[in-house]
Structure 1
């Protein structure tokens, strides 16, 4: 078996805002009844994080739970733990209607870090990113330029952006161009 390689192989662009690939991350799409206590319990056991409310993320380090839709969460774990995490989900939800799929190798994680990271993303995503409407703990599934993406703020000067691996180069380049254009001064 070949070694896993991240989508952007560690690409980084530095300046006032740094745009960099975060490397391999375990990501599991879990669809099912989000009100089910067994689903909550297994997600919490795997990640050590509280189950998120609508439009939120509960995360620390490489572990997290992202609310994706009324019947879907994205489970974040260290890359090496993804296969075992899916097996834990399968065991905990056996006999129920659900879907757990390891999508780690189909996604890329890009970090946008710096004083005007919020503006970098605001220029390319159709989301109200004003600090009064979006902050740490919030999670959105939207677009970056013309590609599907999801994002959150691990801290006040950082955005984490997940996109499909197939469009990672494009998303990275769009974020770099937005950063190089400089702040707009809106926020």
Structure 2
């Protein structure tokens, strides 16, 4: 059996805004009726976080729930427990219309950390990131440069970016270029 490796092997671009790969992350795409009590319960039981409203993400450590669309969630669990979590979802939702798929090895997760993290993301995404509009816990599924991505603010200085593994290096390099010394910290 082979050992799982993350998309970017722990790559870090240090600076005023640090760009770093988050490593292996457990992720399950769950599609179904987000108003269903069984679906909501299994998700909150697995993660220990509050079920998110539209456009929100709730996360604690390696666990969380991210609202992807009106019928889709991203369930975050520790990587080693992804199979067990998917089985719990299957058991809880048996007999209902849903789809749960482990996408852990198909995605890359990148942290953008620092006082100017908002500026780094704002240069690349067609999203209003003004502090009055986009706050901690807010989540968007959009584009970064030329690739599909999703991101949310973990706190005032930290974004988490999720993209397809196949474009992980491109996304990392794009974020690192956007965070380059001298290119952030000029917005007033």
Give the shorter-chain TM-score range.
Answer: over 0.9
TM-score when normalising by structure 1: 0.98
Q: Give runs of aligned pairs for residues 13-162 of structure 1, distance below 5 A.
A: 13-162=13-162
Q: Aligned with 1:172: secondary structure?
A: helix
> What's 1:183 paired with?
184
> What's 2:168 paired with?
168
CA distance in 2, matches of 1:51, 1:69: 14
Structure 1 portions without partners, runs of 5+: none
Q: Aligned with 2:172: secondary structure?
A: helix
Cα offset, 1:49, TM superposition: 0.8
State the number of aligned residues: 187
Cα offset, 1:183, TM superposition: 1.3
CA distance in 2, matches of 1:154, 1:184: 20
Cα offset, 1:155, TM superposition: 1.2
Cα offset, 1:116, TM superposition: 0.5
CA distance in 1, matches of 2:17, 2:44: 33
CA distance in 1, matches of 2:173, 2:138: 24
Structure 2 portions without partners, runs of 5+: none
Structural RMSD (CA): 0.9
TM-score when normalising by structure 2: 0.97
